[in-house]
Amino acid sequence: MKENKLFPLKKTIVAFAVLSGLAGAFPLASHLMPQTHAASSAVAGLPDFTELVDKVGPAVVNIRTTEKIQAGNGFAEEDPALEFFRRFWGMPVPKAAPKKRSTPQHEEEIPRGVGSGFIVSADGYVLTNAHVIEGASEVYVKLTDKREFKAKVVGRDAKTDVAVLKIEAKNLPKVNVGDSSKVRAGEWVIAIGSPFDLENTVTAGIVSAKARDTGDFVPLIQTDVAVNPGNSGGPLINMRGEVIGINSQIYSRSGGYMGISFAIPIDEAIRVSEQIKAGGKVSRGRLGVRIAELSKDIAEQIGLPKVQGVVIAQVEPGSPAEKAGLRDGDVVLKFNGQVIEKPVDLTRAVGALKPDTKANISVWRNGAQREVALVIGEAETDKTAQKADKKSKKEIANSLGLTVTDLSDAQKRDLQSGGVVVEAVDGAAAAAGIMPGDYILSLNQLEVKDAKQFAAIVAKLDPKKAAVVLVRRDRVSQFVLLKPQQ
């Protein structure tokens, strides 16, 4: 029905267009003229990016990287020239010349990749993405005036994908840095870079969203600006000619641009770059926990008045969290007064602090809120999970569908707490995904000491109500809701 209504309207518009050339003879056609002017006015109102490009363009650079390899004297097996010689010339493959022991192989520099960057200081500091220079032996920076410099890598931070380069030059054009915290969805932005090695290519669009959680440490700016391979590391620029982000990622199923691109907020990039320039690396705070999301069902079961916070799934031995008395199953509600809604909130809040900084954390434990003071450590690589020891054979079954056993002495030392080991599952436990070998640390917020005590707690449960158990698997703890079987 809708198409039938539109069809006559389209025919009428065509008739008006024909009549517009006869405005003097048919007064009706003269009414079209204001519409034509209105359309021209709308086109004239579109943003003009020419001044922005003239202003920022000279500070945008092309970055190419190379890799040094040991060069041989003959053809490599995968060299395309091999097939060329065989099929078209009927010639045998050239053999490598015998190597003399006194003559070492020479290094050959081969192209590795291209990207973009921008100058942030007149004395030659350049910002780009860490992945642009990853694995490179040499990095070269080319300016719009065709000058090219070999760059020194001051430092890179893979977690935020920011890298700092330095070229030896003076009085260079530089960008103006904006405030990414003031970015608004819907505002016009442009990107300048070298997609597919096409230098100083300009694309435009709008900010689609801000603070997209695509990474642990940086909430990214989402845009619909066309960004392709080679654009990485280039600036995202607002209508005031200020850099508000570093183009870093695209969402794609094909490897090419599909309408969604992401940029690192310039505020975070500058903060990281200042640390890199000062010490060559970025220092982040460390709590020493692994965390998980808190579901509505679990929040209700443990007595939280609202769904807020994240669950501590694992406290690392010797970590700042363990020293402060935090436990598996604690729900982190606030960190230094900041409300924690999701895991990434805590990760970023802790990571933003310098090591040895004092902090306060609010947790929910056993039906009450507690305040814990601690000293932040320095971020380090997660420790490798340890394998569980062999289990005891003292088994006790219960109505939750769990057959459990006491911990061995080695398991007690490993867990540094009480608990029981799951030997077999059935019913509600099986439906909830609990597996043999899992540890049960608590039941309905009551700490489990051994299999006998666990069985006594289960015996007092209302079989018509759900129960929540704290389960540990592969050194990660998580609340699991056991619903009554129908």
The catalytic residues are 131, 161, 232
Among 248, 125, 229, residue whose Cα is nearest residue 175: 125
- Distance, in Å, from the CA atom of 58 to the CA atom of 176, rounded to the nearest integer, reads 12
Beta strand pairing status for 106-119 and 125-128?
antiparallel
Across 217-325, the runs of DSSP E, i.e. the strands, are 220-223, 235-238, 242-250, 261-265, 285-286, 289-293, 310-315
CA atoms lying within 13 Å on the CB side of residue 27: 0
Q: Which residues of 199-209 are buried (b: 16+ CB within 10 A; e: fewer)?
A: bbbbbbbebbe
Rounded to the nearest angstrom, the gap between the alpha carbon of residue 364 and the centroid of all alpha carbons in its chain is: 28
Is position 232 annotated in a ligand binding site?
A: yes
**Can you read off the two tokens belonging to residue 440?**
């049960």
| Cα 337-340-341 angle, rounded to 5 deg | 150
Residue pair 161/264 in contact (Cβ under 8 Å)? The answer is: yes
Please, is 142 exposed, middle or buried when counting C-beta atoms within 10 Å of its C-beta (0-12, 13-18, 19+)?
middle
**Can you read off the two tokens belonging to residue 178?**
């904006």
- Distance, in Å, from the CA atom of 68 to the CA atom of 291, rounded to the nearest integer, reads 42
Among 382, 383, 386, 362, residue whose Cα is nearest residue 372: 362
- Distance, in Å, from the CA atom of 312 to the CA atom of 363, rounded to the nearest integer, reads 10
**Can you read off the two tokens belonging to residue 435?**
């597996």
- Distance, in Å, from the CA atom of 38 to the CA atom of 167, rounded to the nearest integer, reads 51
Is position 161 annotated in a ligand binding site?
A: yes
Is position 230 annotated in a ligand binding site?
A: yes
Check residue 23 and report its DSSP letter. Answer: T
**Can you read off the two tokens belonging to residue 59?**
């500070």
Give kind and range of the element (H or E) at residue 378.
strand 377-378
Q: Which residues contact 5 (CB under 8 A, 6 or more apart)?
A: none
Residue listed under structure tokens 């920011």? 162
Binding positions = 131, 161, 230-232
Binding positions for substrate = 131, 161, 230-232
